Amino acid sequence: MSEVWKMIGTYAIVFSVGGALCAVAEILIVRTKLTPARILVLFLITGIVLEGIGVYDAIFKVCQAGVSVPIVGFGAALAKGSIAAAKTYGFIGAFAGGLIRTAFGIGTAIVMSYIVTLVFSPKTK
């Protein structure tokens, strides 16, 4: 029975952290003049900075998908890929590494977006 409670605790943490990130974004939209695009970039850069200073992995161990699924996790993945490729290939690796590390996720998002457009046939406003 303890495994079930451990799983429920993990889900609670993930849901709480993901919800908190969404709440922060919503507060920024409502209380500031920042556009959603700028908030997106702010969260992306936050993930890059957290990975760059070496804190993201410690946060990920506690928060798991709550911090890795939102755009903060994408920023951290870009930074992690760039850092690893820069160590291996030098300066040019810093540019290619982020794309190599996130290519699968980006490719999947593109394919799934195309499938959704075929199923639902969206219209422009």
Residues 25/43, Cβ–Cβ less than 8 Å:
yes
Identify the band that residue 1 occupies on the pLDDT scale cut at 50, 70 and 90. low
Tens-place pLDDT, residues 30-59: 999 999 999 999 999 999 999 999 999 999
Cα separation values, 41 from 49, 83, 104, Å = 12, 20, 21
Tens-place pLDDT, residues 100-114: 999 998 999 999 999
Identify the band that residue 19 occupies on the pLDDT scale cut at 50, 70 and 90. very high
Q: What is d(CA 123, CA 115) in angstroms, rounded to the nearest whole number?
A: 15
Q: Enter the tokens of residue 36.
A: 């959603």
Q: What is d(CA 80, CA 98) in angstroms, rounded to the nearest whole number?
A: 7
- In the numeric block, the tokens 């993945």 are attached to 77
What integer pLDDT is reported at residue 67 of this predicted model? 92
Percent of the chain with pLDDT over 70: 98
CB atoms within 10 A of CB 113: 10
Residues 19/41, Cβ–Cβ less than 8 Å:
no
Residues ≥6 apart with Cβ < 8 Å to 79: 47, 48, 51, 52, 56, 98
Which amino acid is it at 42? L
Identify the band that residue 124 occupies on the pLDDT scale cut at 50, 70 and 90. confident
Tens-place pLDDT, residues 56-92: 999 999 999 999 888 999 999 999 999 999 999 999 9
